[in-house]
């Protein structure tokens, strides 16, 4: 698999952190990424250069880009909800076994279904950003 160039369509740089510790940023300009980041880049709301045709998105690519942007916006809402739970020190909103926020609590807060996978991804990002801040 070859490297691809990606860019953020969210109007701001996107941080991509893999569970194996690899981290990179994708800005609004084309950024070449190692293949290990491709899947995470797509799921974070980035588009690859090969998605563009003649400098414009096709109709189906535009739908994909729109869906990815919506997912990114949902993740931001979940992040804000998690940070609110932490700021309020709402211990009942966290699972006693794994220490993570309860997905059903987050679902009630944001108004859409928060899967465990989305919760985990955002939770790890919040933890990492809090560790970077300290």
Asked whether residue 63 is assigned to any structural domain, the reply reads no
Over range 48-76, report the average pLDDT.
Answer: 74
Domain match, 49 and 95 both: no
Residue 66 lies in a domain: no
Residues 53 and 76 in one domain: no
In the chain, the N- to C-terminal Cα span, in Å, equals 37
Query: Looking at the structure, do residues 48 and 100 belong to the same domain, yes or no?
Result: no
What is the rounded average pLDDT of the residues 15-19? 91
- State pTM to two decimals: 0.56
Rounded (10°) angle between helices 59-87 and 103-110: 110
Same domain for 38 and 2? Answer: yes
Phi, psi dihedrals of residue 103, rounded to the nearest 5°: -60, -40
pLDDT digits (tens, 9 = 90+) for 27-37: 988 999 999 99
Strand partners of residue 66:
none
How much is the pLDDT for 54? 42
Residues of the chain with pLDDT > 90: what percent?
57
* Domain extent for 111: 72-134
Q: Are residues 77 and 38 in the same domain?
A: no
What is the total count of domains within the chain? 2
> Quick check: is 62 in a domain?
no
Looking at residue 52, its pLDDT comes to 65
Please list, in sequence order, all residues whose beta carbon lies within 8 angstroms of the beta carbon of residue 124, skipping any fewer than 6 positions away. 17, 19
126, pLDDT greater than 60: yes
Q: Is residue 92 part of a domain?
A: yes
**Residue range 110-128: mean pLDDT, rounded:** 93
Same domain for 128 and 105: yes
Domain shared by 8 and 35, yes or no: yes
């Amino acid at each position: 698999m070859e490297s691809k160039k990606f860019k953020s369509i969210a109007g701001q740089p996107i941080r991509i952190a893999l569970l194996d510790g690899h981290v990179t940023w994708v800005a609004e300009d084309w950024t070449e990424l190692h293949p290990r980041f491709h899947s995470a880049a797509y799921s974070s709301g980035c588009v690859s250069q090969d998605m563009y045709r003649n400098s414009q998105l096709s109709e189906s690519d535009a739908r994909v880009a729109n869906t990815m942007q919506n997912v990114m916006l949902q993740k931001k809402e979940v992040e804000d909800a998690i940070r609110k739970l932490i700021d309020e020190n709402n211990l009942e909103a966290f699972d006693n076994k794994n220490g993570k926020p309860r997905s059903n609590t987050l679902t009630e807060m944001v108004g859409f279904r928060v899967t465990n996978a989305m919760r985990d991804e955002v939770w790890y990002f919040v933890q990492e950003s809090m560790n970077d801040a300290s």
